[in-house]
Amino acid sequence: MASQYRNECGECGWNTAWLPQSVAEQKMVDHYTQRHPEIIPGGMQEYRESGGCCSSSCLMMLMGLFSLAIPTWYLVR
C-alpha cells in the first residue's frame, strides 16, 4: 500500500486528511491561497506508512483469535 501524508497549516493549524503526498501538498497550497493569500505556504508535513502490523485488518484478526482462545481456555480448565 502507498505511504500517506498529512499537512498542517503553520498559520491556523488546519490539517489535510491522510492523502498521497502530491494531493496533500496541493490541498495545502489551495488552503493558503484561500485563507492566507499574503503568506508563502508553510507548516508541517506528517508521514505514515500504510498497512503494517497495526492495520485494522490485522487488529480484527487478533481480536478474533482472542475471542476464540478465551472461551477455549475456560473449557480446558
pLDDT tens for each residue of the chain, 77 residues long: 467 999 999 999 999 999 999 999 999 999 999 999 999 988 999 998 865 545 566 667 777 766 766 665 556 65
Give the start-end residues of each E strand in 1-77.
4-8, 44-48
Q: Which residues contact 49 (CB under 8 A, 6 or more apart)?
A: 3
Output phi, psi for 40, to 5 deg: -70, 135
